[in-house]
Structure 1
Amino acid sequence: MGSGARTCAERSRTGTTTGRGRTARRALVAVLLAATAVGLTPSAAGAAPRNPSDAELGAAQQARADAAARVGQIGAELAQARTHVEELHQQALIALQDYEDKQAAHDAARAAADAAAAAAVQAAADLQQGRDDVASFARASYMQGSTSPGITALLSAAGPAELIERSALLDAAGVNRVEVVAELTVLEQQAATAEQVARQATEQAAAVQQEAAALLASAQSQEVEARRQADALDAREDGLQAELQQAQQVLDGLEGARTAAQEAAARQAAAPAPPRTPARPVATPSAPTPNAPTPVRPTGGTAGAPSTSAAETAIAAARSQLGVPYSWGGGGSNGPSNGIPPDSQLFGFDCSGLTQYAYARAGIAIGGTSRDQWWLNRNKQVAIGDLQPGDLLFWGGDRSDYMSITHVAIYIGGGQMIEAPDRGQHVTIARARTSSSTYFGAVRPSAR
C-alpha cells in the first residue's frame, strides 16, 4: 500500500460506481422487448392487424400496474438499504485511517525497540570489558605481590624507607581494587537495565502491531461487505426495473396493435379514422427521500495568501494523474501504488494518496490520511468564498469532529476540483461539492 492517506468516500450524489453496468443492461432489455413488441404491430405487407381483446389489454394493464406497485413498494426499502451500505462504507474508511495511524505508531515503536536492543548489546559488551579489566587487575596484583597479606609485605621490608614505600603501594592497590569492583557493579546494573528496556520495547511494538492488524482486518471486512451489499442492491433494482419495463413494452405493443387495427377497419369502412390513442407513459415510482439536512458550512478562514508556485506545482502534479484508477489504500508521496485488499491488485490512488502526492511534488508534506491533512493544516482554514487554486477540500460525517473526515480533493478554481473519487472510477476533474451537507471545510497548505 502507499504511504499516504487511504480514504475517500464522498461521492457525487448523482450515481454510484456499483451501477456502472446498469445502463447498458437496461438498454439491452429495452431493445429486446421493443423487438418483441413490434411483433404485435401489423406488418408492412399485408394482412389486417389483429385487434387485441379487452381481456388481453386488461391483463397487460394489470401486469404493468403490478410491476409499478412492486417498484414503489421496494423503493423505500432500497433507499434504506443503500443508506446502510453507505454507512458501512464510511465506517470502513474510518477504520482504514485508524489502521494507518496505528501502523505509524508501530513503526515508531519498532524503531525504539531496535534502538533499545542496540543499547543492550553495547551494555553487554561494556560489561564483558569490565569483567576482563577486573581479571587483568587481579593477575597484575598477584604478579606484583599486592595480593599477599599486608603484614607480610611490611615485615619483609629491608628498612624504614622500603617499609614506607610498601605501605603506600598496599594502600593504592586497595583503592584501585575498590574502584574496579565498583565500576563492574555499575556495568552489570546498566546491562540488566538495558536488556529490560529492550524487552519491554519489543513487547510494546508487537502489541501495537497486533492492534494495527486487527484494525486493518476490520476495515477490509467492512469494505468488502459494503461492496457486496451495494452490488446486490443494484442487481435487485435492475431486476425490478426490467420487469416494469417489460410490462410497459407489452402494454404499449397491445395498445399500438389495437389502434392500428381500428384505423385499418375504419379505412376499410370508408369512414373517418378514429384518432390514434398514444401509448400511455408510465411513471416509475421513486423511493421517498427524507428531507436533506441543512448543509453545514465552515465559518471564516485563518489562512494567509497562497504560494502561487507551490499551488500551481501541486495542481500540475494532480493533473498528471488524471485517468489513474482509484485504489483503496493506494498511492502516496512517491506516486500511485497497489492498494490493500480488496484492491491489492489495483495500481492507483485513493483520495488522500493523490493529494499527498500532489503536494509532495511541491515540497510540502501534508500528512498521510485525509484527516491528518486537515489536522496538520487546521490553522490555515479557508472560507468557501475565499477558495483559491491549490486549497484542499474535505468532506466528513460530523462537522464538529475532524476524525469523521473521509474524503479530500484539491481545488483548481472555477468551482472545480481534482479527486480520486471511489472504486471503479479514476482520478478526474469534478464539480467542487462545497454545498453538500457533508462538506467539512478547506485548508491552504501553501499559505506562507
Structure 2
Amino acid sequence: MTAAQAAPVNPSDADLSAAQSSQDAAAAEVGRLAALLSGAESDLERVMVQAEAVSEADRVAQGELEAAEEHAAATAAELQAAQQAVTVARADVATVGRERYMSSGDLAGIAALLSATGPDQLLEGAATLRLLADQRTATLEGLRIAESAQVEADSRAQEAVADRAQAAQAAAAAKAAADEQVTVFQATTDALAAQRATIETQLQQAQVQLLALQGQRNAYQAWQQQQAREKAEAEAQAAAAAKAAAQAAATARAAAKAAPPAAVTTPVTKTAQPAAGPKRAPAPDVVDAPAPRPLTGGGGSGSGGVAPTSGRFTTCFEMRWGVMHNGVDIAAPTGTPIYAPVAGRVVRAGTASGYGLAVYIEHDDGSVSVYGHINDYFVTAGQRVSAGTVIAEVGNTGESTGPHLHFQVNTAGLHSGAVDPIPWLAANGVSMGGRCR
C-alpha cells in the first residue's frame, strides 16, 4: 500500500469570504474612482478650451496694444512736426516784427507812398505794404493751427495708449486666472489617476489572494474525493476478498463431506468473513470519460467523439467572480492524457499568455477547441488529428491554481465566440456527466 497523502491546506469559509469582500470592495472603489476621474477629465477638457479662448483674447489684446503703441509713435512724430511748425511760425512773426520795427512802423510806409515820384512807384509801394500785412496774418494763423494740431495729436496718442494698455492688462489677468484654473484641474485629475492606479493594484492583489484560496479549497475538495474513492475501492476489495474466502470455505466443506472418512480427521477451520462497511457513493462531479480510440497520429477524420480527459469539474461555463468563465475546468493529476474529442487540424501549439501552454484545434464545422494550462503537448501546427489522438497532458502552467484542463470552444476564430462546450461535446457524441452537463 502506498503511504497516505497528507491533507492539503483547506482555507476556512471566513477566509474565503474575507478575500471575496476585499476583492468586491476594491472593485467598487475602482469603479467609483473611475467615475470621478471621468468627470475630472471632462472638467479639465472644458477649462482647457476656455483657457485657449482666453489666451487667444490675450494675444489679440497684446496685438492691439502694439498697434496703439505704433500709432502713438506716429502721433509723436506728428507732434514733433507740429512743434517744429510752431517754432518756424514764431520765427516768422519775429522776423516780421523786426522788419516793421526797422521800417519805423506804418508812418514810414505812408511816407514812402507820399514820396513816390509817379503812379507806378505809388502802386508798387502800396502792394508791398499789403504783402507784408498778408504775410503777418498767414504766419499768425499757421501758429494757431500748429498749436491746435499739437494738442489734438497729443490727446489722441494718450487716449489710444491708455485704452489698449487697459485692455491688455485685463486680458493678461484673465489668462493668468484661466491658467491657474487649468493647473488646479490638472492636479485634481492627476491625483485621481494616481489613486485609481493604487486601488487597481490592490484589486489585483485581492484577486490573486482569492484565486489562491479558491485553488487551495479546490485542491482540498479534490483530495477529499480522492480519499473517498480510495476508501470505497478498499472496501470493495475487502468485500471481494471476504466473498472469495467464504466461497473457498464452502468448497472445502463440500469436499470434506464427499471424501471418505480417514483415520485422522483434520478439522476445517472456518475463515472469518470481515464485515463489509457501507459503500460510499462515488465523488460528485467526476468526468467518466469513455475510453479513447487508439492513437492514430496525424491524419484521418474519425467518427464519433471522445471526452477530452478524465477528472472532476471544478468550474463550468458560467459567471465567476464577476466575469464570464468561457469554458469548463476539469481537475486531474499532472500528466493525465488529453485527447482530441473530434477530428480536426492543429492551428497552434505552444505558449499562450495566461494559459501558459495551450493547443488550438480547428474542426470541420469551423469551431476551435482550446486546451489550456497543459504540462506538455505532442502535436504541431498544421497536423491533422483524429478523435482520440493524445494531443497533450494535464498541467498547471500559466495563471493556474492547480493541475487542471481548461477546455473551451470558440465559434469565431481562435479567441472569439465562446460557447458552452458541454452541448458541443454532446452534439459530437460525448456525454461528460458531472454538474456541468
TM-score category of the 2 structures, normalised to the smaller one: 0.3 to 0.5
TM-score, scaled to structure 2:
0.48
**Comparing both structures, which one devotes a greater share of its residues to strand?**
2
Question: Which structure ranks higher in relative contact order (CA pairs < 8 Å, sequence separation ≥ 6)?
Answer: 1
